[in-house]
Amino acid sequence: MGKLVEGVWHDVWYETKQNGGKFVREDAGFRGWIQNQANAEFQPQSGRYYLYVSLACPWAHRTLIFRALKGLEAHIDVTVVCPDMLDNGWQFGLPEPLFGHQYLHQIYTQAKSNYTGRVTVPVLWDKHTNTIVSNESSEIIRMFNREFNQLTGNSDDYYPEPLRAEIDKWNDFIYPNINNGVYRCGFATTQEAYDEAFDNLFAALDKIDQHLETNRYLVGSHLTEADWRLFTTLVRFDAVYVGHFKCNKKRISDYPNLHGYLKELYQVAGIKQTVDFYHIKRHYYFSHTKINPTQIVPKGPDLGLEKPHQRGGL
């Protein structure tokens, strides 16, 4: 863990006392936007942008998915951090190629020397202005979804205007209860905070499983951004969150509709290549020593995500 304070790295865990034992996620510190407009500060150009990600992190995973779905692999290069996040936070196995830095926090201070805040992935870097465009995954995926279409010729739209209100509604429900809900369980430091997060998490999963009984995707028959934002939590759930974060009422494999839905999304072309269970399990179990002090990484489970899927009457 850790954070920067006025550009200086500090190895500190999350502070929960002032929130009654509840984990509260910090907002992203860089919120620039790539726009396909002549006067935009950040314009979509091949080779201009660089993406720093962790294969373990569900927020970074979103950006890799949209990079794949939108055909951006040839236009936006990627550096993957090591799964181990220890005293110096996210680290690179080899010095990263742009500046030769060893730690992700050095990328943050490269952009802003007196930066204060958590050092998170993903990070979208602009090589022209030598700064971070954004470290907010939900906004990076929307840039990837729309702003590079003229460059790639890929007009697939996962946030179409007629469906935005419904997509936003699902996002607003899924983020606090599921995406961040698993962390609110795992990082809680009081029984009351954990119980509240746990109950909200499984009530939300129950609701979505019931919804998927009669809907192929969250927004009916349309595969949208909301599905991919949910997917990155679901795909980690049985391997990590059930045991490590004490989210153990049910596994996703125990939900008939959610499990089939997860397998269907995993089998979309290009998606399984963005999933790395070695990085996922190694990061959580080895890096979170306050939760797992032995750092033992479990060998299982066998998730069977490539097996045929079937959901209700769909």
161-270: which CATH number, 1.20.1050.10, 1.20.120.140, 1.10.3720.10, 3.40.640.10? 1.20.1050.10
What's the pTM value of the predicted model, to 2 decimals?
0.94
Instruction: Report CA Rg, the chain.
Output: 19
Rounded Cα–Cα distance for residues 216 and 172 (Å): 20
Residue 253 DSSP symbol: G
The residue extents of the domains of the chain are: 3-152, 161-270
Kindly state the tokens that stand for 136.
């907010």
Positions marked catalytic = 57, 183
* Confidence (pLDDT) at 23: 47
* Confidence (pLDDT) at 12: 80
* pLDDT one digit per residue (tens) for the chain, 314 residues: 689 999 999 988 545 555 565 445 566 679 899 999 989 999 999 999 999 999 999 999 999 999 999 999 999 999 999 999 999 999 999 999 999 999 999 999 999 999 999 999 999 999 999 999 999 999 999 999 999 999 999 999 999 999 999 999 999 999 999 999 999 999 999 999 999 999 999 999 999 999 999 999 999 999 999 999 999 999 999 999 999 999 999 999 999 999 999 999 999 999 999 999 999 999 999 999 999 999 999 999 999 999 888 765 56
* Confidence (pLDDT) at 222: 96
* Confidence (pLDDT) at 309: 81
The secondary structure of 191-219 as a DSSP string is: HHHHHHHHHHHHHHHHHHHHHTTT-SBTB
Rounded Cα–Cα distance for residues 205 and 210 (Å): 9
Rounded Cα–Cα distance for residues 120 and 155 (Å): 30
Written out in words, the top-level CATH class of the domain with range 3-152 is: alpha beta
